[in-house]
Amino acid sequence: MIVSRHTTGRRKVAARIALGAATLATAALVLSGCRASSADSTPEDKASGNGLVIGWSQRGISGSDWWKTLVEGGQAEADKVGARIELLDANGDTVRQNSDVQTLIAKGVDVVIMNANDPIGVGPSVAALKAAGIPLVTVNSNLDASLVPDTFCYVAEDQEYTGSLAGEVAAKKAIEKFGDSGEIKIVGIGGFPGDVLSDLRFNGFMEGFESVTKDHPGVTVNKLDTKYGEWKPDKALGPIRDVATANPDLKVVYSMSDVMNGGVVQGLQQAGLWGDGIILSSYDGGMVSVKEMIDDPTGPLQATASNQPWDQGATAVKMALAAYNDDTTACPDKTLYIDTSVVTPDNAKDYYVEGDTYVRAKEDQ
């Protein structure tokens, strides 16, 4: 079940991450052959994780609690097994990320975890790691299909499935609130038109929603055109206000990231729809949303589907160890989806951990 962390522990993890990033060499000669071995660790030690050196190429950290939590989860798992993480932050720059990977190769890391900034732009890094004989695990951000054969494992959440969890809850709450006949008008708000994340999360939500409403033939689902808020609360406000103003009979809003919820709420308030006549369902498992459901269990927010960055980071480190040991049974299909969950007013207290930013798997709390 979930084991709560103390604030001090979290700070120590964050400090280790910052220290690791700060002490990395900014320039080094690129190694031409095999991995360098740690002087104090034998291959047998590293096979259990003790002394294993994991290079972590992160697409960004600054300004994102989600990415910070991802790395903290990885650091916590590395501490458990005695591994060391060498972290480099590309800060959203693909050219810099490719340079960072060369630095990690030069440092002689045993395996690399990459949160790729661009699915095809990191191709030179994938090729360089293959040439150096260093296994690659990717996390959160997928690579282009052409690069996947040269990776060991991709760790992420199944976004369609996770979205469906939020959709099922929203549908059940809607039928409970509005009855099992009549029209239920829905609008979703995502990041950008055509982005894969928005499509996966919304398609999953609707699959979950309709899996419930199919058993209620008197219900008609009216899906409005998806709106986009660039994953930002201020950008979400206007589109939601406009669609709510034009559709005063709007019943369900699906926010594809908790980050946008503040703008979604303001938009609905400005349109005069925030309150008992609206159901809000969202995605990310942000602890702010969990606390809101604890404080106001009958309010509009009735679900947040959790993508659990801590667990993604921890699982990536587990796969890094498996990659070092060439244990292909750990990730036979080169993709490993973590188990995700949905938090509702009924179970919010079980998931709430003061000081955390995102929900973790219950067994890891």
pLDDT in tens, 58-98: 999 988 999 999 999 999 999 999 999 999 999 999 999 99
Residues 17 and 110 in one domain: yes
- Whether the pTM exceeds 0.95: the reply is no
Of the residues 291, 306, 321, which one is the last residue of a structural domain?
306
Average pLDDT over residues 23-52: 59
Residues 226 and 216 in one domain: yes
3-state secondary structure of 127: helix
pLDDT value of position 45 = 86
Q: From CA 228, how far away is CA 329, in angstroms rounded?
A: 40
Q: From CA 190, how far away is CA 225, in angstroms rounded?
A: 11
Residues 146 and 211 in one domain: no
pLDDT at 21 over 60: no
Closest alpha carbon to 91 in 82, 83, 100: 100
Structural domain count, the chain = 2
Q: Which two tokens stand for residue 165?
A: 């969890």
pLDDT value of position 362 = 73
Q: From CA 131, how far away is CA 134, in angstroms rounded?
A: 8
CB 197 within 8 A of CB 256: yes
* Burial bucket for residue 203 (CB in 10 Å: 0-12, 13-18, 19+): middle
Q: What is the DSSP letter of 150?
A: G
Is 39 among the domain residues?
Answer: yes
Q: The tokens 């340079």 sit on which residue?
A: 99
Residues 14 and 116 in one domain: yes
Q: The tokens 């395996």 sit on which residue?
A: 111
Is 58 among the domain residues?
Answer: yes
Is 1 among the domain residues?
Answer: no
pLDDT value of position 361 = 87
CB 338 within 8 A of CB 308: yes
Is 361 among the domain residues?
Answer: no
Instruction: Name 285's bridge partners.
Output: none
Average pLDDT over residues 306-310: 96
Average pLDDT over residues 50-63: 95
3-state secondary structure of 55: strand
Is 296 among the domain residues?
Answer: yes
Residues 223 and 277 in one domain: yes
Residues 200 and 282 in one domain: yes
Each residue's pLDDT tens digit, 352-361: 999 999 999 8
Residues 101 and 153 in one domain: yes
Other CB atoms within 10 A of residue 232 CB: 14
- For residue 289, name the pLDDT band (cuts at 50, 70, 90): very high
Is 342 among the domain residues?
Answer: no
Which domain CATH number covers 164? 3.40.50.2300
Is 355 among the domain residues?
Answer: no
Each residue's pLDDT tens digit, 155-212: 999 999 999 999 999 999 999 999 999 999 999 999 999 988 999 999 999 999 999 9
Residues in contact with 252: Cβ distance below 8 Å, sequence separation at least 6, in sequence order: 170, 174, 184, 185, 186, 187, 209, 278, 279, 280, 281
Closest alpha carbon to 276 in 298, 302, 254, 303: 298
Average pLDDT over residues 327-335: 96
Residues 235 and 153 in one domain: no
Residues 47 and 185 in one domain: no
**Domain housing 32:** 7-157+309-333
Give start and end residues of each alpha helix (H) in 107-231: 123-132, 159-178, 196-213
Is 365 among the domain residues?
Answer: no
Residues 85 and 221 in one domain: no
> Could you tell me the CA-to-CA distances from 69 to 74, 189, 356 in Å, in that order?
9, 24, 9
Instruction: Tell me the one-letter amino acid at 243.
Output: V
Residues 297 and 223 in one domain: yes
Closest alpha carbon to 143 in 334, 281, 326, 318: 334
Q: From CA 17, how far away is CA 73, in angstroms rounded?
A: 11
Torsion of CA 140, 191, 66, 262, to 10 degrees: -160
Residues 73 and 83 in one domain: yes
- For residue 24, name the pLDDT band (cuts at 50, 70, 90): very low
